[in-house]
Amino acid sequence: MPALVIHGVDDPLVPVAGGADIARNIKGAWLLEVNGMGHDIPAELIDLFVANVCANCARAPALPGT
């Protein structure tokens, strides 16, 4: 299944290298590094997250019989 890793570049708790490492260790994963984002989900970025989650879901293979 496709994976999307979203990581704030300004995260004070988990360095951005941690998100990059996760994405690198999941075959075919996408990494979205968000400038100006910390360890929270700002409301003004919801549209960005929704667009990327939808794009990631579109990468999933069809289930048999659907």
In the numeric block, the tokens 């941690």 are attached to: 18
Q: How many CA atoms lie within 13 A of 66 on its CB side?
A: 5
Give the DSSP H/E element, type plus range, for residue 55: helix 46-58
Q: How far apart are CA 40 and CA 62, in angstroms?
A: 32
Per-residue pLDDT of the chain (66 residues; tens, 9 = 90+): 899 999 999 999 999 999 999 999 999 999 999 999 999 989 999 999 999 999 999 999 888 876
57-60 contact pairs (CB < 8 A, 24+)? 57/2, 59/2, 59/28, 60/1, 60/2
* Total-model pTM: 0.86
